[in-house]
Chain A
Amino acid sequence: MDFTLIFFYVLAATAVATALGLLLSRNAVYAALFLVLNLATVAVFYLLLGAPFVAMAQITVYAGAIMVLFLFVIMILGAEKLPKGEVLPWQRPLAIGAAALLLVEAVYLLLQRVRLTSDLSNPGTWENSMDALRQMATLLFTDYLLPFEVTSVLLLVAMIGAIVLTKREKGEPA
């Protein structure tokens, strides 16, 4: 009885449950909070997989900044509840069917075709040390320098874009 495995199953169930919550909740705030939980769960997974930096990044950036932004917007817009009324009645069954098919195919492909080492070892001490972090940083600034710089440009662009899009024209009501 592997303690890690049980831990994994619990976490997996949590993740799926929160995802389900996101899917089904009528209230957008509730959905956002479910997502935050999901992200936190996935961060724990990262820890399990020996990627502490990524886990931290996930918590601070993803769950901390992005989701907060989401919540800001939800609050501002007041978009908690939506009126009832389905315009595309055939969408739901078809979507569920397609998604089911997708799941089946994805599972099949991932499990049958991808032949890799089956078991992943638990993370040891080295993964959580500064050495690992240092190596990763070095890699970031040498092999992956270009994507790094481009990403910074991308962020700049996003910033400008966000400002431009939300700018109020003269005379437009708030």
Chain B
Amino acid sequence: MIPLDHYLLLSAILFTMGALGVLIRRNALIIFMSIELMLNSANLAFVAFARSFEKASGQPLFSGQLFVFFVIAVAAAEVAIGLALIVAIFRIKHNVDVDQMSSLKG
């Protein structure tokens, strides 16, 4: 019997840490991984809620899990593209430091 709050709290903590990772780290790949962490924490919250919205018959609400399913799929696609981008940039800059990629400076 784990209270829902715990899951949510954990989700929040993981999300914050992911956000922090995006902001603090300079390695583009690490930033990407932090984004995955954030997605992951959101998935956790989804599944926890799906579990808490049990129907009268005792069956859980599958929509939450299916949503996670979709999130994972999308994450995969996103990672593919993202990494392709990083590779393309690396070819030019020979570097994955996001701070070096500031040509769009106003």
Contacts and interface: CB of A to CB of B under 8 A. Distances in A.
Contact of B30 (A22, A46, A57): A22
A130 interface: no
A16 B14 contact: yes
Interface in A1-58: 2, 4-5, 8, 12, 15-16, 19-20, 22-23, 28, 31-32, 35, 38-39, 42, 45-46, 48-51, 53-54, 57-58
> Per DSSP, are chain B's interface residues mostly helix, strand or loop, or mixed?
helix
Interface string B15-57: 1111111011111111011101100100110011111111000
B70 to A, nearest CB: 6
B2 interface: yes
B13 A16 contact: yes
Interface residues of A, number: 85
Contact of A158 (B4, B25, B78): B78
A60 B5 CA distance: 28
Interface residues of B, number: 76
Nearest to A74: B29
Nearest to A81: B27
Contacts of B85: 165
Interface string A139-154: 1100010010001001
Nearest to A100: B16
A168 B77 CA distance: 21
Interface of B: 1-21, 23-30, 32-34, 36-37, 40, 43-44, 47-54, 58-60, 62-63, 65-66, 68-70, 72-81, 83-88, 90-91, 96-97, 99
Interface of A: 2, 4-5, 8, 12, 15-16, 19-20, 22-23, 28, 31-32, 35, 38-39, 42, 45-46, 48-51, 53-54, 57-58, 61-62, 65-66, 69-70, 73-74, 76-77, 79, 82-83, 87-88, 91-92, 95-96, 98-100, 102-103, 106-107, 110-111, 114, 116-122, 126-127, 132, 135-136, 139-140, 144, 147, 151, 154-155, 157-159, 161-163, 165-166, 172
